Chains A and B, each alone.
Chain A
Amino acid sequence: MTPNIAIVHVNYLGGANFRLWLPLFLLWIPAIVLAPFILLALLIACTISGVPFWRSIATIWALLCSLPGTDVRVVTEGNRVLVRIL
């Protein structure tokens, strides 16, 4: 499954705090619209670098689909940053 939502929490001690829920699934709209150009650019890049086109698509897709579940939390001097991909 491709990533649907990214959650970003930033808590600065005595500063700005914000929580963002980024709807990544909405990126499908521009991705589908731009798909011919993206695929063409990828095809050209693969041809130039000698990388198999279909294999690179499969790998990029595998990377995208394996992103959900990624969770990064950093706390330093009372400041907190959380990035989570669902």
Chain B
Amino acid sequence: MNENRKQILDMLAAGRITADEAERLIAALDPEPGAKNTGPTTHRKYLRVLVEADESMAGNKGMTTVNVRVPMQLLRAGVRLAALIPQQAHNQLDRALSSHGIPLTLSQIKPENLEELIDHLDDLTVDVDGKDGNTAKVRVFCE
């Protein structure tokens, strides 16, 4: 069972979504085999990131919302830019990312990886609970 499916079932068990909503979410996660190629990634023009953070525990009044729309072309160009970074800089960046708990090897990121990511990134929602009681909801999707 993958993480997204488990998250949906947990939300259903907690009563936060209805059975119909859970069914729709699972269907969206696991499209029919024939349907996978009907929505090519080229039709998705933007990556959207929505963050709604409730920082009332930190003394802030009201919600903080961040709404970012990035063209897919910019992401593709960014991956191409990463390919231009010299190997020495790659190593330094990889070490810096690892030291911050992000085990990512930049040199292994290829444009195909991005397409694969977009294919799987229909709609992802992450609930973040901060240690000081603040909460945030991050939603990432393509449109």
C-alpha spacing A69/B69, complex, angstroms: 7
Are the C-beta atoms of B64 and A77 separated by less than 8 Å? yes
Q: Which of A55, A70, A76 has the most CB of B within 10 A?
A: A76
Tell me the count of chain A residues lying within 8 A, CB to CB, of chain B. 23
Stretch in A24-32, A33-41, A59-67 with 4+ CB within 8 Å of B: A59-67
Q: Say whether, besides A74-B66, A75-B64, A55 and B84 are in contact (CB < 8 Å).
A: yes
Question: A71 to chain B: which residues have CB within 8 Å?
Answer: 67-69
Closest B residue to A84 by CB, please name it. Answer: B69
Question: B68 to chain A: which residues have CB within 8 Å?
Answer: 71-73
Question: A67 to chain B: which residues have CB within 8 Å?
Answer: 71, 74
| Dominant secondary structure at the B interface | mixed
C-alpha spacing A51/B86, complex, angstroms: 7
Question: A15 to chain B: which residues have CB within 8 Å?
Answer: none
Closest B residue to A69 by CB, please name it. Answer: B71
Are the C-beta atoms of A75 and B65 separated by less than 8 Å? yes
A39 CB to closest chain B CB (Å) equals 16
B36 CB to closest chain A CB (Å) equals 26
Residues of B in contact with A, size category? 20 to 34
Contact with A along B68-89 (1 / 0, CB 8 A): 1111011011101100101000
Question: A14 to chain B: which residues have CB within 8 Å?
Answer: none
Contact with A along B92-115 (1 / 0, CB 8 A): 000000000000000000000000
Q: Say whether, besides A49-B86, A51-B86, A76-B60, A59 and B81 are in contact (CB < 8 Å).
A: yes
B131 at the binding interface (Cβ < 8 Å): no
C-alpha spacing A49/B64, complex, angstroms: 41
Question: A63 to chain B: which residues have CB within 8 Å?
Answer: 74, 77-78, 81
A70-B70, A78-B61 given; 15 more Cβ-contact pairs under 8 Å: A50-B86, A51-B86, A59-B81, A63-B78, A67-B71, A68-B71, A70-B71, A72-B67, A74-B65, A75-B63, A75-B66, A76-B60, A76-B65, A77-B60, A77-B61
